């Protein structure tokens, strides 16, 4: 399962459809708080999040995830409108092409392997 956190409803729906069409199960949320709630119940293989999330920014959520031993191993892809990069986090700058998204996701999901997840 991929957790997608994007505050823009249109973008979130488009990314959700692209990921599902590529064969991925997706849970899509609008805020960092909603993403944190999902993470209390499920462990995704990958997290894709916009750095401009509401209530808890993408940067804040990444910091929380990296400090928690239950989530520190989960690969993250950051989405941004500018050239803002985060060290050690693959970043896709909007507008994102379907090929760039799926290529990045497939590479990271393959690197995780086939460990059992909740």
What does the pLDDT read at residue 111?
84
Exposed e or buried b per residue across 76-103, where buried means at least 16 C-beta atoms within 10 angstroms of its C-beta: bbbbbeeeeeeeebeebeeebeeeebbe
> For the chain, what is the largest distance between any 2 Cα atoms, rounded to a whole number of angstroms?
35
In a domain, 56, yes or no: yes
Q: Say how far apart CA 2 and CA 46 lie, in whole Å.
A: 5
Tally of domains in the chain:
1
Tens-binned pLDDT, residue by residue, of the chain (118 aa) = 999 999 999 999 999 999 999 999 999 999 999 999 999 999 999 999 999 888 788 888 899 999 999 999 999 999 998 877 778 899 999 999 999 999 999 999 988 764 444 3
In a domain, 80, yes or no: yes
In a domain, 77, yes or no: yes
pTM: 0.90
In a domain, 53, yes or no: yes
In a domain, 118, yes or no: no
What does the pLDDT read at residue 116?
40
CATH number for the domain spanning 93: value is 3.40.50.2300
In a domain, 71, yes or no: yes
Domain membership of residue 64 as a residue range: 2-112
């Amino acid at each position: 399962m991929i957790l997608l956190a994007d505050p823009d409803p249109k973008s979130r729906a488009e990314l959700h459809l692209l990921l599902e069409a590529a064969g991925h199960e997706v849970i899509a949320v609008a805020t960092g708080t909603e993403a944190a709630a999902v993470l209390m119940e499920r462990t995704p293989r990958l997290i894709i999040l916009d750095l401009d999330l509401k209530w808890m920014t993408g940067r804040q959520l990444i910091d929380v995830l990296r400090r928690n031993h239950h989530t520190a191993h989960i690969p993250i892809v950051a989405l941004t409108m500018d050239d803002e990069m985060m060290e050690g986090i693959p970043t896709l700058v909007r507008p994102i092409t379907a090929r760039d998204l799926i290529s990045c996701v497939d590479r990271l999901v393959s690197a995780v392997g086939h460990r059992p997840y909740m």
